[in-house]
Amino acid sequence: MRVAVVGAGRMGQLHARLLTNAKAVSELVVADADVDQAKAVAEGLGAEVASDPMDALESVDASLPRSNWPIMWMELASSSRWGFNAASTTGIAPPELP
């Protein structure tokens, strides 16, 4: 199974380390907004680096979200790449993005 860890901070590093030992994981992808941080974590584990967390999520079978997963979900759900708007399905407006 191809798995992505989105977020290469302390928790992401822990998850990535644990996943490298999981028999079900055949490929590991590390993604972070800070690509250099993702590279540092991935290189130490022999994992692939995704320069864009959104792209990483589209290319894997499973993922471990970063600690602010509700915001990430809203970003994904309101993205035109996914074909629907979270505000129209949940009544919750997505956060303003920089």
Range of the domain at 73: 68-98
pLDDT score, position 84: 45
Q: Which residues of the chain register pLDDT less than 70? A: 65-98
pLDDT score, position 35: 93
Q: Do residue 57 and residue 93 come from a single domain?
A: no
Q: Do residue 41 and residue 77 come from a single domain?
A: no
**Do 54 and 78 meet the contact criterion of CB atoms below 8 Å apart?**
no
Q: Do residue 47 and residue 87 come from a single domain?
A: no
CATH number for position 10: 3.40.50.720
The residue ranges of DSSP E strands in 11-52, in sequence order, are 27-31, 48-50
Q: Do residue 21 and residue 7 come from a single domain?
A: yes
Burial class (CB in 10 A: 0-12, 13-18, 19+), 2: middle
Mark residue 57 as left, alpha or beta (left: phi above 0; alpha: psi -120 to 50; beta: remaining): alpha
Q: Do residue 44 and residue 9 come from a single domain?
A: yes
Q: Do residue 52 and residue 6 come from a single domain?
A: yes
Long-range contacts from 43-47, C-beta under 8 angstroms, 24+ separation: 45/16, 45/17, 45/20, 46/20, 47/16, 47/20
Q: Name residue, tokens 């991935």.
A: 42
Structure tokens at 48: 């692939």
Q: What would the pLDDT profile of 41-59 be if each residue is shown by its tens digit?
A: 999 999 999 988 888 888 8
